[in-house]
Amino acid sequence: MAHPLAWLFMTIALLWQAWVVEARADIYTFTDDKGVQHFSNMPADRRYTLLMRTETDTPSIAAKTPRTHRGIGGTLYAYEISRAASFCQLESALLHAVIAAESGYNPRALSGKGAIGLMQLMPGTARRYGAVDPYDPAQNIRAGALYLRDLLAMFNNDMRLALAAYNAGENNVIKYGNRIPPFRETAAYVPRVMAFYQEYMRANPGSS
């Protein structure tokens, strides 16, 4: 019979292996016959090829959250997201994608840099867009949606540049000639959000 400590170490090893798998965020892509580029973190089509293999040093809130609880199906905060999207004339899918990538639908999320809530707003951004309590889901989503709306307007509705600016700041996007800045985090963030965006669109056909 195995020593109790052996079972303990084996359990820890298995948990560590599961943790590492969850912390990965590999992104796959392919371009269809119409020239549309598709992204996914869970490729279901043979045409997908690996675009980026990413690992986090520590598991993010989104990585630790089971996929079925991330709200991609549209059930978590659906009303608040739909209302903010309508007000800002954005797609609900975009807000779901940003929330999934930023916080994994955890309204109490707080990053090491001080970003707060579902859409991980920095305190100054939250204040600028009227979120008195950035931990409040409705206020956080509305402020984040307003910020995204302004970024899209700034970058001629280029979703990838707007997402890069959301992650790295608009000044960095401008600094690098209106291109995605060459930062490792941003280079991984943009395709990750795009993958969530397309996953939401597949899960909710006909939605805006």
Ranges of H-type helices in 103-136: 123-128
Predicted pLDDT at 76: 84
Predicted pLDDT at 68: 39
Query: Considering Cα of 99, then 36, then 67, then 208, what sign does the dihedral take?
Result: positive
Predicted pLDDT at 135: 97
**Assessment of whether the complete model's pTM goes beyond 0.75:** no
Predicted pLDDT at 38: 60
Closest CA to 189 of 156, 162, 207: 162
Nearest 5°: the CA angle 89, 95, 98 is 145
User: CA–CA separation, 29 vs 38, rounded Å?
Assistant: 5
Beta-strand runs (E) in 23-155: 27-31, 37-40, 49-52
Predicted pLDDT at 157: 97
Beta strands at 37-40 and 49-52: parallel, antiparallel or unpaired:
unpaired
Query: Considering Cα of 170, then 176, then 180, then 185, what sign does the dihedral take?
Result: negative
Q: Does residue 102 have an active-site annotation?
A: yes
List the chain residues with pLDDT less than 50: 2, 4-24, 53-69
- The active-site residue, picked from 22, 55, 80, 102, is 102
